[in-house]
Structure 1
Amino acid sequence: MQGSYVEIKYTNTKEDLLAFNEHHLANSQVYQRRRIINLYVTPFVVLLVFCLLAFFTGKTSYYAGGVLGALASYLWTFVAYKRYAKKCSEVFQKEVFCEHKVVISDVGVNESTANSSSQFTWDALDKIETNEDYIFIYNTPATAFVIPKREIGKDSFEAVKLALDNAL
């Protein structure tokens, strides 16, 4: 990519931020491990503690409490994890929901909006991931430039993917 560059402009929407959050959470090992612990291990521990309490005290009502407590813990966690990605996208972020100009060159990635500008060399970027509809250029382990295919068109989307592949 010597001396060449690709420049694109796009505007992110709430749906783009939601898509990023869902993609990131689905591919985050830390998040998945925490989710498994909260969904399965915690209710099991609650049930086990109440069963042990019932066994040692001789009060059978603790068994029912354990089952209800484990069920409530599981359902609460299940609903919370289902809503998490959507909840993250509901916070208004003026530097996300605006026009972005991204320039991909042999030096790295330069991103600018009306209020800010940032440049990242290739070594400074965390990772780059793509799916059918988006390119995610991670500048930290949990934040990324979200480039939507629908905003830049299929040809530009493929050109950006090619430029990123050639640069890495």
Structure 2
Amino acid sequence: MMEIRYELTEEDVVAFNVYHVKNSNIGRNSLRWQRLASPLIFLLFAYLLSIFTEIPAAPLLSTFTITAVIWVLFYPKYFYWHITRQVRKMLKEGKNEGLIGEHVLKMQKKGITDSTQNGETIVNWEAIKSFKEDIGHFYLYNSAISAYIIPKREVNADAVRNHLKKWLTL
């Protein structure tokens, strides 16, 4: 058995959500679609504006082309900033006492027990859909959109990784 104690912060939850969007097919497709479709709409608008008004096409197309290039270059940064902002808003508006705060995670032969001030959840290893990690966190996905978040700053990362690989059969 391994027991780890850690404090889960708002930053950890935001990091998970950004990681999830960056690494999910839906998140990547959404970013790709929004990044490329909007500039095409800008250029189409410029073309139609030049047809239906007296404004010459060259200045319109050059202005909207510059706008489109700026959009393609900077939209990903805005996209992830927007996700971060939305997650922070949701955390502030809802009751998240069991999410943010102190956690005691026990990893045993039968599964995981996560204890917080609000209660305890017990999950069998078979319920863990995938194990992912980034620079600062481990993510134990228990569904397509939620995971147990373990910040590496609070634990011995190699020991936790080895222990998880011992129990997980993904």
Spell out, residue by residue over 1:40-99, the C-alpha distance to the aligned partner (whole angstroms, 9 max, x if none). 1222134225414634x4643677289549938938955641413421145233222211
RMSD over aligned CA atoms reads 3.0
Q: Tell me the matched-pair count.
A: 160
What code does the residue aligned with 2:119 have?
S
Q: Is 1:60–2:83 an aligned residue pair?
A: no
Please point out which of 13, 18, 21 is paired with 1:22: 18
> What's the offset of the Cα at 1:12?
0.9
Contact 1:25 1:32 in 2 (8 A): yes
- Runs of 4+ in structure 1 over 4 Å off: 65-70, 75-79
Return closer, same or farther for 1:135/1:66 CA change in 2, 3 Å cut-off.
same
TM-score relative to the length of structure 1: 0.77
Q: Which residue of 2 aligns with 1:159?
A: 159
**Whole-Å Cα distance in 2 between the matches of residues 108 and 66 of structure 1?**
60
Pair 1:83 & 2:81 matched: yes
Hey, what does 1:34 align to over in structure 2? 30
Shift of 1:39: 1.2
Change (3 A) 1:84 1:58: closer
Cα drift, residue 32 of structure 1: 1.0
Summarize the alignment of residues 1-168 of structure 1 with structure 2, pairs less than 5 Å apart: 5-52=1-48, 54-55=50-51, 57=52, 59-60=54-55, 64=60, 67-68=63-64, 71=67, 74=71, 77-78=75-76, 80-87=78-85, 88-90=87-89, 91-92=91-92, 93-152=96-155, 154=156, 157-168=157-168
| Normalised TM-score (structure 2) | 0.76
Deviation for aligned residue 1:100: 0.8
Alignment partners' CA distance in 2, 1:94 and 1:33: 33
SS at match of 2:126: coil
Gaps of 5+ in 1: none
| Alignment check: 8 A CA contact 1:109 1:119 kept | yes
Contact 1:108/1:119 (CA < 8 Å) preserved in 2? yes
**Cα separation, 2, equivalents of 1:47 and 1:37:** 16
Contact kept? 2:21, 2:28, Cα under 8 Å: yes
